[in-house]
Chain A
Amino acid sequence: MIAVLLILIPVLGGLISLFLKEAGTARSWALLSSVVTFAVALSGIFIYDHLNELSFNAEWVTSLGSNFSLSMDGMGKILCLLTTFSFPVVFAATYKNNYRQPGSFYGLMLLMQAGLTGVFLATDGLLFYFFWELALIPAYFLCSIWGGEKRIAVTFKFFIYTFIGSVLMLAGILYLYFQTPGHTFSLQSWYHLNLPANSQNVLFWLFFIAFAIKMPVFPFHTWQPDTYEQAPTGVTMILSGVMVKMGIFAVIRWLVPVFPLATAHFANVVITLSVIGMIYASLLAIRQDDIKRLVAYSSIAHIGLMCAAIFTQNKIGLEGVIIQMFNHGINVIGLWIVADTIEKQLGTRKFSELGGLAQKAPVLAVLFMVMALANIALPLTNSFVGEFLMFNGLFQYNVWIAGIAGLSIILAAVYTLNMMQKIFYGDTVAATVHAQETSKNVQWVLAILVILVIALGIYPQPMINLVKDTVNAVLPNL
């Protein structure tokens, strides 16, 4: 029941919101809906933690043998927590932002939430594809209607990329459907397919390219910085905080266990690509003059590590990936919130036009500092735990690859501290000389994120316990 509610509440909330005209009503409604969903998720994960609450099964497209089946395992719990937590955070942090047609904006956001949650819960191939598109379509509209100046061209690029991915994936799903005895989309039966190596090797790429675009993995990444830059910040937060996790999640759930032979066969290729991407994106991040683009490239570098760690097929590394999905989500949202308040207040995101903000907004400086330290995975922040486990996995796979990938932790310090310095340190400049402390709601939201960052950095064990069942299911024979 809980699993269904997590999808149903945002769907209904979103549909109702489409008819709301008043900006105030729409944003309060969206916040209320998302808070209720979060509460339901918390109760499901921590109180009503029974299988029949967290899974659901009903007939759907019977003629095709597709069922509306949902199930929440450890990884699903973590991602549902991330999704349901991120939306109220984003709504609260951007509460003061004004949008044209607010009812439609918030309505699409909530529909996107439903799609995302569905992706993380579906255990039926067709249903998974359905939610995948349900999450993506609102994203196109949100970017193309509410985005920045270059939104049309950029959304088009975003669309082309993901559309190609979707088509490839759909072809793969249909092929699997026809290969399955009894023609079904059920994930469990796909796990037992034991396809011959040749078919696995082809199908692997159909799925992987779709997921790689979503993450994104080098060289499928160029839609991302543009989209993050042009999308309205609230949408960017969801795209980078939650939606990129669809790609990683899908690799863990729908790729690695379904095509074990191909995964082993192509692990070297994927890991090499991912590690190239880490270094490449880190180097590009150093040369950015725009907060949003820097965070975008930094995010690509971090995602590259997660992708590489999955393909090492090392249990410790995979645990790191799953908890890092949550950690990366809240950290990157925190960075976007700061980028948004700076842009809103000062009218620029360029480092060359910023400086000395710490004198004017010390609270923001401190909160941002903690998020920045989490971005470079300093111990006692949440991402240290994830990165430590992932690098450990990578090291067990190959010492040299771990060493090269490790260079990214040095480069991360270079660009992150550079960002800190260029925005907050030095003397004030024209743009910042009349700057003020950021608003209380932003301070509170960031403070909550900061507390989470540190709490999960000091005591990560509960998260790790949560992901063990998924890891054992995905990598059973190790």
Chain B
Amino acid sequence: MSETFVKILLGFIVLWPFAGFVLNGLGWHGNSKKAIARYACYMVLSSFVASVVIFFAIKSHGAYTVTYFNFLDTGSLKISFSFQADQLSSLFLLIITGVGFLIHVYSAAYMHEEEPKHYARYFAYLNLFIFFMLLLVLGANYVIMFFGWEGVGLCSYLLIGYWFKNNEYNYAARKAFIMNRIGDLGFLLGIFWLISKLATVDYATVFAQAQSLSNFDVTMITLLFFVGAMGKSAQIPLYTWLPDAMAGPTPVSALIHAATMVTAGIYMIARSNVLYSMSEVTMNIVAIVGLVTALFAATIALKQNDIKKVLAYSTVSQLGYMFLGLGVGAYTGAVFHVMTHAFFKALLFLAAGSVIHAMHHEQDIRKMGGLKKYLPITHITFLLGCLAIAGIPPFSGFFSKDEILAAAYAKNPLYWGLGVAGAAMTAFYMFRLYATTFLGSFRGTHDQEHHLKESPSAMTIPLIILALLSVLGGFLGIPEVFAHDSHLLKTFLSPVIATGAGEHLEHGTEYMLMGISVAIAALAVIFAISKYKKTPELGEPAGFGKILSNKWYIDELYDTVIVKPLNVLAGFLKNIIEKSGIDGLVNGVGRLVNYSSRQLRLLQSGQTGSYILFMVLAMIVIIFLWIDDHFIYKFISGLF
């Protein structure tokens, strides 16, 4: 396929969703909700189809880099507006536009209660998000990635605060944006560091010249990039925005806060794998942060009763696994988990949305129960999603998680042990959620029970498709032990990702590890179902459970340690330093001058008199000084 054609096609992939944003944003379709939704969906579908074409082009031809124009050219620094379509970005293209399209379709039905102007606003934001996300993965340099990076943060902000009448949602939106900004600062400083050493931000040049960087430089650059990733991908300590982001409409949680945006950090590190592999220090930090986040978030998820909150903490935890994978060098494994996670977590969120929809905006699982009978499709698809995330073979999560854990074992058996413990918790809380929601008997009101019915097909069809992907997606990455050379994903990604650790395990060891983790997960599933099927937790937890249900009081801690002191400091500066300090000094001088000028002002009528007088006096002084060149010369040279 010719390069010009690819260039045009990539341009369209990005511009279609943008056009959708502009037209729906301007209210092009007036009050017709059908037209609004259809238009937005078609834009993303077009991008998806084009992405498939690009995917096959890359498969047969290899990577393309196309340049549109010079964004910046200052002579010493040149940043071009260019796209790099290679194996890694084309995979993300498919996930973003594919899952994105399904979620657009689902949204059309889920948001049907909204007024047309807000319906149009919703789809405009959603299209804009797709646009920025595509920019993020297509950019051929870190600056274009940063465009998308901050752009998706903006869309996340706009969509979390979509119901802007509710101030609690607005605070959640702002929190998300600000925590992301903290990460963004790290990313930006990383870019500056790169520029100061290599004078370029293009991936190709950076990776080619990476060997010329000192170890310290590489470590700092990669760590700063990782700060960015911690913000966007909700890792400790910057994760607290993600659970709050559940204030947004549920399809948004599925698309942005599960399947795509939050995986941007993983994309960034996988993209920069050449740099990361050069720094042992960074790799260890990434692995440890990921592992700790995976465990920590899993403990919180054990005691949440809001269906979306459980999924949110589960997302944080799964993202932790991906970072663990990156940190132990299993880049392909991490990307593989991004993909399977996009399928099953989008599925779980959309299924949860279907439940919330049927329950008329009820999200507390203690008030549900027995929904299996009322929502058959939702139930089955949700169950498949749970099996996938729990790592039960042959569902997709099993393959990707196993790949990460195997690589972790090769690096350090302790990583593996803790990872398996986290996986057990994952299986447990997911099936706690499943059992409390779908099994047992219905605990809501009669009115709710009366209205319970399966969601419309625009919602269930995306569920079914995602369920199929969650079941089958794992076969793209069959481990070496099962069949030789059958890891299609690894083969496909090999031009961009150098194969790392994990493949040197002996087959016997690998079978054993796999057996242990599957057995533990299966036990956790059975335990959770038997525990919660008949007797769900309905009361408020006590003791340690209370700490977990209050999320380890981390929000309170941040509030006490950071937010409040900052506010006190700002108040101190405003009321004491600014008012009495600096301004007091100035006003003192002012009063002095004012006093002497008051005498003169008596001669003048009108309030502006004194100023005119000042100017006239000044002019007279100036002219006087001019008259005697000699005098002023001596006068001033005397001064210095």
Nearest CB in chain A: distance from B133 CB, A: 14
Residues of the B chain whose Cβ atoms lie less than 8 Å from the Cβ of A157: 586-587, 590
Residues of the B chain whose Cβ atoms lie less than 8 Å from the Cβ of A171: 636, 639
B579-605 CB contacts (< 8 Å) to partner A: 582-583, 586-587, 589-590, 593-594
Is there contact, CB below 8 Å, between A378 and B587? no
Query: With contacts A315-B76, A421-B170 known, is A414 near B117, CB below 8 A?
Result: no
Q: A152 — nearest CB in chain B belongs to which residue?
A: B607
B113 CB-CB contact with A under 8 Å = no
B298-331 CB contacts (< 8 Å) to partner A: none
Is there contact, CB below 8 Å, between B76 and A379? no
A170 CB-CB contact with B under 8 Å = yes
A362 CB-CB contact with B under 8 Å = yes
Residues of the B chain whose Cβ atoms lie less than 8 Å from the Cβ of A286: 566-567, 570
A337-361 CB contacts (< 8 Å) to partner B: 356, 358-359
A396 CB-CB contact with B under 8 Å = yes
Chain A interface, DSSP helix/strand/loop, else mixed = helix
Query: With contacts A287-B570, A426-B164 known, is A222 near B578, CB below 8 A?
Result: yes
B135-150 CB contacts (< 8 Å) to partner A: 143, 146-147, 150
Cβ-neighbour of A358 out of B77, B164, B569 (below 8 A): B164
Is there contact, CB below 8 Å, between A219 and B150? no
Is there contact, CB below 8 Å, between A406 and B70? no
Residues of the B chain whose Cβ atoms lie less than 8 Å from the Cβ of A64: 626
A425 CB-CB contact with B under 8 Å = yes
Query: With contacts A144-B607, A175-B636 known, is A283 near B573, CB below 8 A?
Result: yes
Is there contact, CB below 8 Å, between B607 and A284? no
Is there contact, CB below 8 Å, between B189 and A406? yes
B182 CB-CB contact with A under 8 Å = yes
Nearest CB in chain A: distance from B234 CB, A: 17
Determine the distance from Cα of A254 to Cα of B630 in the docked complex, in whole angstroms.
26
B526 CB-CB contact with A under 8 Å = no
Is there contact, CB below 8 Å, between B192 and A417? no
Nearest CB in chain A: distance from B479 CB, A: 40
Residues of the A chain whose Cβ atoms lie less than 8 Å from the Cβ of B161: 421, 425
Cβ-neighbour of A425 out of B170, B566, B589 (below 8 A): B170
Is there contact, CB below 8 Å, between B608 and A144? yes
Residues of the A chain whose Cβ atoms lie less than 8 Å from the Cβ of B76: 315-316
Chain-B contact segment, one of A47-55, A74-82, A385-393, A432-440: A385-393
Determine the distance from Cα of A460 to Cα of B71 in the docked complex, in whole angstroms.
7
A99-140 interface mask toward B, CB cutoff 8 Å, 1 = contact, 0 = none?
Answer: 000000000000000000000000000000000010001001
Nearest CB in chain A: distance from B623 CB, A: 11
Is there contact, CB below 8 Å, between B636 and A178? yes
Nearest CB in chain B: distance from A51 CB, A: 23
Q: B73 — nearest CB in chain A belongs to which residue?
A: A461
Residues of the B chain whose Cβ atoms lie less than 8 Å from the Cβ of A261: none
Is there contact, CB below 8 Å, between B192 and A395? yes
A199 CB-CB contact with B under 8 Å = yes
Residues of the A chain whose Cβ atoms lie less than 8 Å from the Cβ of B181: 409-410, 413
Is there contact, CB below 8 Å, between B608 and A395? no
Is there contact, CB below 8 Å, between A380 and B147? yes
Cβ-neighbour of A426 out of B75, B167, B614 (below 8 A): B167
Is there contact, CB below 8 Å, between B74 and A389? yes
Residues of the B chain whose Cβ atoms lie less than 8 Å from the Cβ of A284: 570, 573-574, 578
Is there contact, CB below 8 Å, between B593 and A160? yes
Determine the distance from Cα of A350 to Cα of B75 in the docked complex, in whole angstroms.
46
B165 CB-CB contact with A under 8 Å = yes
Residues of the B chain whose Cβ atoms lie less than 8 Å from the Cβ of A152: 607
Nearest CB in chain A: distance from B238 CB, A: 12
Count how many chain B residues have C-beta atoms less than 8 Å from C-beta atoms of the other chain. 70
Is there contact, CB below 8 Å, between B611 and A155? yes
A206-235 CB contacts (< 8 Å) to partner B: 219, 222-223
Determine the distance from Cα of A286 to Cα of B578 in the docked complex, in whole angstroms.
14
Is there contact, CB below 8 Å, between B178 and A410? yes
B622-639 interface mask toward A, CB cutoff 8 Å, 1 = contact, 0 = none?
Answer: 100110000011001101
Is there contact, CB below 8 Å, between B574 and A427? no
Cβ-neighbour of A316 out of B74, B147, B633 (below 8 A): B74
A68 CB-CB contact with B under 8 Å = no
A452 CB-CB contact with B under 8 Å = no
A390-412 CB contacts (< 8 Å) to partner B: 391-392, 395-396, 399, 402-403, 406-407, 409-410
B341 CB-CB contact with A under 8 Å = no
B196 CB-CB contact with A under 8 Å = yes
Residues of the B chain whose Cβ atoms lie less than 8 Å from the Cβ of A280: 573
Is there contact, CB below 8 Å, between B189 and A283? no
Q: A279 — nearest CB in chain B belongs to which residue?
A: B573
A173-202 CB contacts (< 8 Å) to partner B: 174-175, 178, 198-199, 202
Residues of the A chain whose Cβ atoms lie less than 8 Å from the Cβ of B143: 388
Is there contact, CB below 8 Å, between A379 and B151? yes
B64 CB-CB contact with A under 8 Å = no
Is there contact, CB below 8 Å, between B178 and A414? yes
Nearest CB in chain B: distance from A113 CB, A: 19
B177 CB-CB contact with A under 8 Å = yes
Determine the distance from Cα of A417 to Cα of B160 in the docked complex, in whole angstroms.
14
A239-268 interface mask toward B, CB cutoff 8 Å, 1 = contact, 0 = none?
Answer: 000000000000000000000000000000
Nearest CB in chain A: distance from B182 CB, A: 6
Is there contact, CB below 8 Å, between B165 and A395? no
Residues of the B chain whose Cβ atoms lie less than 8 Å from the Cβ of A319: 74
A336 CB-CB contact with B under 8 Å = no
A441 CB-CB contact with B under 8 Å = no
Q: A393 — nearest CB in chain B belongs to which residue?
A: B192
A418 CB-CB contact with B under 8 Å = yes
Q: A415 — nearest CB in chain B belongs to which residue?
A: B570
B557 CB-CB contact with A under 8 Å = no
Determine the distance from Cα of A366 to Cα of B125 in the docked complex, in whole angstroms.
12
Nearest CB in chain A: distance from B58 CB, A: 27
B571 CB-CB contact with A under 8 Å = yes
B210 CB-CB contact with A under 8 Å = no
Nearest CB in chain B: distance from A24 CB, A: 26
B154 CB-CB contact with A under 8 Å = yes
B511-530 interface mask toward A, CB cutoff 8 Å, 1 = contact, 0 = none?
Answer: 00000000000000000000
Q: A145 — nearest CB in chain B belongs to which residue?
A: B608
A311 CB-CB contact with B under 8 Å = no
Determine the distance from Cα of A83 to Cα of B574 in the docked complex, in whole angstroms.
33
Residues of the B chain whose Cβ atoms lie less than 8 Å from the Cβ of A140: 608, 611
B492 CB-CB contact with A under 8 Å = no
Determine the distance from Cα of A101 to Cα of B589 in the docked complex, in whole angstroms.
33
Is there contact, CB below 8 Å, between B192 and A402? yes
Is there contact, CB below 8 Å, between A461 and B636? no
Determine the distance from Cα of A144 to Cα of B611 in the docked complex, in whole angstroms.
10
Is there contact, CB below 8 Å, between B608 and A460? no
Query: With contacts A140-B611, A283-B570 known, is A222 near B583, CB below 8 A?
Result: yes
B195 CB-CB contact with A under 8 Å = yes
A8 CB-CB contact with B under 8 Å = no
B193 CB-CB contact with A under 8 Å = yes
Determine the distance from Cα of A288 to Cα of B164 in the docked complex, in whole angstroms.
22
Determine the distance from Cα of A43 to Cα of B308 in the docked complex, in whole angstroms.
59
Is there contact, CB below 8 Å, between A141 and B608? yes
Is there contact, CB below 8 Å, between B182 and A410? yes
B338-358 interface mask toward A, CB cutoff 8 Å, 1 = contact, 0 = none?
Answer: 000000000000000000000
Pull 28 A–B residue pairs with CB atoms less than 8 Å apart, ordered by A: A141-B611, A145-B608, A159-B614, A160-B590, A163-B618, A166-B618, A175-B636, A178-B636, A198-B640, A199-B640, A222-B586, A284-B574, A287-B574, A288-B574, A315-B74, A389-B74, A395-B192, A399-B193, A406-B185, A409-B185, A410-B182, A410-B185, A424-B164, A426-B164, A426-B165, A426-B166, A459-B71, A461-B69
Closest 4 A/B residue pairs (Cβ): A395-B192, A379-B147, A283-B570, A425-B164
Tell me the B residues contacting A by CB distance below 8 Å.
Answer: 25, 69-77, 117, 143, 146-147, 150-151, 154, 157, 161, 164-167, 170-171, 174, 177-178, 181-182, 184-185, 188-189, 192-193, 195-196, 566-567, 569-571, 573-574, 578, 582-583, 586-587, 589-590, 593-594, 607-608, 610-611, 614-615, 618, 622, 625-626, 632-633, 636-637, 639-640
Query: Can you name 4 extra interface pairs (CB under 8 A) apart from A157-B587, A163-B614, A409-B185?
Result: A156-B594, A198-B640, A378-B151, A402-B189
